Structure 1
Amino acid sequence: MTSEPCLTWQDENGTQHRLALTDRIFLGRVCRGIEREKRILVRNPMVSRDHAVVRLTHSGVEIVDLSKNGTWVNDVRMAPGASRNLKDGDCITLGNISIVLSCPRSITPSDEDTWTEQTTVNQAAVSVTNLVADVRGFSAFSQQVDSTTVYTFIKAVFSRFSAIVNAHHGTVKDYAGDAVFAFWEHPGTFSTEHALPACQAAVEQLSSLPEIHRQLRDRGLDLPPPVLGWGVTTGQVTLSHYGSRSADLALVGDCINLAFRLSSMASKTLQAPIVLCSQTASLVNRRLPLQDLGNHEIRGRSGQEHLFGIQMR
């Protein structure tokens, strides 16, 4: 046994492997041009040719997603193109293979895999809870201050919010102008276990605003306290891929559109800063104090939606 990091996994034939991590290890279906002792090949059409890379950094071990169909760490999907630190025992999943970070004796994989067919892009109906956090008055704010100040403000908010999403085991999908869009996948049917962390993340993001404002003022930025609105919805979406870039992960569904609409109404036409759809509310109402906001028409949608707010203590 050695103290150096290793990746261990079981291949499609049930054979156990260990590979020492001395610099970086590439994960994928082909990994063309990469030496055998620096790659793990996975024979699965859902795995991209160059799917991810695990590497040593000055602070430890890091994984970078390069894939079209997604990489999971401890059953949580990574954001497309994102990186995250790994610790001993973390489990990386791609295709049907699970790879565990540990520090055992290294064993080089035995067979060179040259399977080079086209990557099959998965299209799947999945259940998700969506979280959209939208900055109020962003257009007017951008007109009144220089672009460097706008960037500093948005970076501070997005960085803190992304860390909160990650801490609650969610996936940041997009930074859409002045909004952060994240989602939590439900492994099967809708469950409180996966809707609740999204709501808790929204509450924590809201609670973090005074500290973000104080830090910005300490840096010499004379800004008003930031005001945001949150929309949290639950429903079924189609998860697939747009275009040719690995970052073009697509989530398409009515519940996503609704989340963006609700975020634009929260702290504005609705007094509640965090607004939930009825589906989300039904999953978390025994765990969180909710306020019944009644039925409301939503711009661009027919009929009315029964909405709820999270009561802040």
Structure 2
Amino acid sequence: MHGDSLPGRSAPLGEADPIPATLVVAPDRAEERSAPIYDWLVVGRECAGVDARHRLLIDDLAISRTHLELRLDFELDQAWLTDHSTNGTRLNGQRIERSVPVRIKPGDRVRLGAAELQFRSRRFAAEAEAEAISASTELKTVRHVTVSDMVMVVGDVVAFSTIAESTDDRVLLENIDRLFRVLRKILARHHGTLSNYAGDAFFATWETPAILDGGAPDPAAADAARAAVAFAVEAAETVPRVAASLDVRDPGGGPLRMGWGVAFGPAAVSLMTGMLVTVLGDTTNVAFRLSGIAGREGLPNVLVTSAVHRVTAGGFAFTPLPAVQVKGRRQAVEVLGARRL
């Protein structure tokens, strides 16, 4: 996933310097230390899913778990920096825009949280024509938009708008972060990919092989669907336990609640906006809409589409429900409730 998230191309095998660049923590100070950059490097508190060769961990609560990514473009002799953080990144004292790659040159200094970093290299200083940069970016746009079959799970906090209206923003953020931290650990166990989260929406995906001729799902598609439903069911069971310890309550004074929607189908996938995947399409819309009604008005906490049910071979108790009409969609959606057997 990280390999193509920024403009730039990796060096052909055997042609790059052993360590073409470094990122120095606390430059020019006694505690200075360096991290090698072979082709790309992720910086953050945790950098979940990134191997040791491609990550730099910094223990600072003001630094996001995955804060920024730096990539080397060997063909253009340039380096690119992209911010993915909550609190932002400064390059030579100037705050950079989130999810937009910016040039970084040897000697440039980066500030994140209380940490100062310096990019050092004998390369990656070439000044490229604006047209070349634009053309490179446009090629990436075409190359990395694909249509794939996916299983998608969306979690939505019940009555979040009402809660946000009467809750201090910092308190709300801290509590939602505590809740989502647990959900991310569950997601990792079920081998899903965190696609995005904004406010109260937790969006995860499982990419699957295409449906085979005759309508039979590839066994790997069934595995992905089972993993997605298992995640949604475990998450629905876990949220009440975590929510009981949170400071934020629902409008009725009880613990926070979440509804979960699970859908299966094609979606357009792009890595252009950074390390979190952008997934768009009707299936995505259905998953989000189902999460917004699950757990409300007597509906189960986990709603799955009939397509998910068809490719999920056992392991759960499914309850057929009347088709639901979701906002913005003319055709009703056939759904089932899902829970552990």
Q: Please give the alpha-carbon distance, in whole angstroms, between the structure 2 residues aligned to 1:240 and 1:56.
A: 25
Q: Map of 1:198-213 to 2, 5 A cutoff?
A: 198-213=228-243
Distance 1:64 1:136 in 2: 29
Structure 1 residue 17: Cα displacement: 10
In structure 1, C-alpha distance between the alignment counterparts of 2:257 and 2:225, rounded to whole Å: 24
Match of 1:293 among 321, 332, 339: 321
**How many Å separate the matches in 2 of 1:58 and 1:150?**
25
- Is structure 2 residue 213 aligned with structure 1 residue 192? no
Once the two structures are superposed, the pairs formed by residues 97-112 of structure 1 within 5 Å of their partners are: none
Q: 1:215 to 1:250 in 2, by over 3 A?
A: same
Q: Which has the higher strand share?
A: 1
Contact 2:155 2:202 in 1 (8 A): yes
- 2:307 corresponding residue in structure 1: 279
The number of equivalent residue pairs is: 237
Deviation string for 1:178-229 (max 9, x for gaps)? 2111111114445111111111111111121233124326xxxx96222111
Does 1:224 pair with 2:254? yes
Tell me if 1:233 matches 2:263: yes
Q: Does 1:66 align with 2:69?
A: yes
In the TM superposition, what are the counterparts of 1:236-255 in structure 2 within 5 Å? 236-240=266-270, 245-246=273-274, 249-255=277-283
Give the equivalent residue in structure 2 for 1:182: 204
> Unaligned regions of 5+ residues in structure 2, if any?
1-10, 25-34, 44-53, 60-64, 72-82, 86-122, 212-216
Change (3 A) 1:164 1:16: farther
Give the AA of the match of 1:299: K
SS in 1 for 2:316: coil
1:294 is paired with a residue whose SS is coil
- Structure 1 Cα separation of the partners of residues 281 and 17 of structure 2: 41
Offset of residue 67 of structure 1? 8.1
Write out aligned runs for 1:121-200 (5 A). 121=141, 122-189=144-211, 191-200=221-230
Written as runs of structure 1 = structure 2, the 5 A alignment for 1:29-108 is 38-41=36-39, 54-55=54-55, 57=57, 66=69, 81=84
Contact 1:24 1:55 in 2 (8 A): no
Q: Distance in 2 between matches of 1:174 and 1:58?
A: 23
8 Å contact from structure 1 (residues 231, 266) kept in 2:
yes
Secondary structure of 1:261's partner? helix
2:238 aligned partner, one-letter code: S
Classify 1:303/1:63 alpha carbon distance in 2 versus 1 (closer, same or farther; 3 Å).
Answer: closer
TM-fit CA distance, 1:230: 0.4
The share of aligned pairs that are identical, in percent, is 24
- Kindly report structure 1 stretches of 4+ aligned residues shifted beyond 3 Å: 15-20, 37-41, 50-53, 55-59, 62-68, 112-117, 187-190
Cα gap change, 1:299/1:202 in structure 2, threshold over 3 Å: closer, same or farther? same
List runs of 5+ in structure 1 lacking aligned partners.
Answer: 1-10, 26-36, 42-49, 69-79, 83-111
- In structure 2, relative to structure 1, the CA distance for the partners of 1:212 and 1:301 (3 Å cut) is same
Q: Supply the AA of the counterpart residue of 2:243.
A: H
What are the superposed Cα offsets for residues 236-266 of structure 1, whole Å, 9 maximum, x if unpaired?
1111256xx5257431110000001111111
> 2:190·2:231 contact (CA, 8 Å) conserved in 1?
yes
Q: Aligned partners of 1:223, 1:126: CA distance in 2, in Å?
A: 42
Cα contact 2:316–2:340 (8 A) shared by 1: no
Q: Normalising by structure 2, report the TM-score.
A: 0.58
How far does the alpha carbon of each residue in 1:45-103 deviate from its partner, in whole angstroms, 9 at most, with x for none? xxxxx5757235479xx9977389xxxxxxxxxxx948xxxxxxxxxxxxxxxxxxxxx
Q: Do 1:67 and 1:81's aligned partners in 2 also have CA atoms closer than 8 Å? A: no
Q: What's 2:102 paired with?
A: none
Match for residue 96 of structure 1?
none
- Residues 146 and 64 (structure 1), Cα distance of their counterparts in 2 relative to 1, 3 Å cut: closer
Secondary structure of 1:304's partner?
A: coil
Kindly provide the CA deviation profile for residues 8-46 of structure 1, in whole angstroms up to 9, marking residues without a partner as x. xxx866x699968xx869xxxxxxxxxxx94435xxxxx
Q: Deviations over 1:103-146 (max 9, x none)?
A: xxxxxxxxx99998725231111111111100111122223333
Tell whether the 8 Å contact from 2:157 to 2:258 is kept in structure 1 after alignment: yes
